[in-house]
Amino acid sequence: MAIYHLEAKVVSRGAGRSAVAASAYLSCSRLYNDYDGIQHDYTKKQGLVWQEVFLPEYAPQEWQDREKLWNAVEEVETAKDSRLAREFVVALPIELNREEQIELLQEFIREQFVADGMCADAAIHDTDGRNPHAHILLTVRPLDEQGHWQYKTEKEYLCMRNGEERGFTAAEFKAAQNERWEKQYPYKVGKKKVYMVPSEADAQGLARADKHPKSTRYGRQNPYLRALEQ
């Protein structure tokens, strides 16, 4: 009887982890992390029965080498507390033979992740023949069709029109301007700073306190990443 098990984690630099180390573990290999100069060696680990790297068609083909893939991730994520990857551990049905388990996993990864621009590094472990399970390591940032990393979050400006406030990204605001939406800036009103649109402030002869427009606190998350976390 198949037993359902799914474990999801985030590989975070802030927690002392690295994507290169996670990849070395799942592939039972030796990989070098350019970011911190540490070589992670799991070649003595047992139980690896299959492994594969999955890439969108527009990803650099050199990333078939998992060491190059995850070092590219470590390079683009510059913050000391960056989220580097997502990691899933999934139990596989023991009723299926090995070939069927692999085909099931390949189809799942291609349809659910690679089709949306994610790179995936996967392996099947089964140390004693009774506990087949898959490790799946995913890039946090999807790739666009030009092979460039997409954003995690994008700045979202809070704009006003006729008393209504709405958020726009920089690209969206270019079109919103034509519909008379305005960004809000801080202006000096007595001893206070008050956010208002330039047309209103200019009519009152107010001086702008600084050049930074009002925006949401955390920005707008990439819609794919938001869907993945739900």
Paired strand residues for 192: 189
Give the C-alpha separation, 112 to 227, whole Å: 11
**By three-state DSSP, how is residue 80 classified?**
coil
What are the sequence ranges of the domains in the chain? 6-150, 153-221
Give the C-alpha separation, 46 to 82, whole Å: 30
Q: Is the pLDDT of residue 45 over 70?
A: yes
The pLDDT value recorded for residue 128 is 86
pLDDT in tens, 189-227: 988 899 999 999 999 999 999 999 999 887 776 665 554
pLDDT in tens, 147-206: 888 777 778 899 999 999 999 988 889 999 999 999 999 999 988 899 999 999 999 999
Q: What is the mean pLDDT of residues 16-44?
A: 97
The pLDDT value recorded for residue 200 is 94
Closest Cα to residue 117, out of 6, 230, 227? Answer: 227
Please list, residue by residue across 132-163, b when 16 or more beta carbons sit within 10 angstroms of its beta carbon and e when fewer do: bbbbbbbbbbbbeeeeebeeeeeebbebbeee
Tell me the three-class secondary structure of 189-222, residue by residue.
ECCEEEEECHHHHHHCCCCECCCCCCECCCCEEC
Q: What is the mean pLDDT of residues 104-117?
A: 92
pLDDT in tens, 54-97: 999 989 999 999 999 999 999 998 889 999 999 999 999 999 99
The pLDDT value recorded for residue 129 is 82
Q: What is the mean pLDDT of residues 123-152?
A: 88
What's the CATH fold of domain 6-150?
BirA Bifunctional Protein; domain 2 (3.30.930)
Q: Per the confidence metrics, is the pTM higher than 0.75?
A: no
Q: How many CB atoms lie within 10 A of CB 29?
A: 18
- Among 30-34, 104-108, 148-152, name the one with the lowest average pLDDT: 148-152
Q: Is the pLDDT of residue 12 over 90?
A: yes
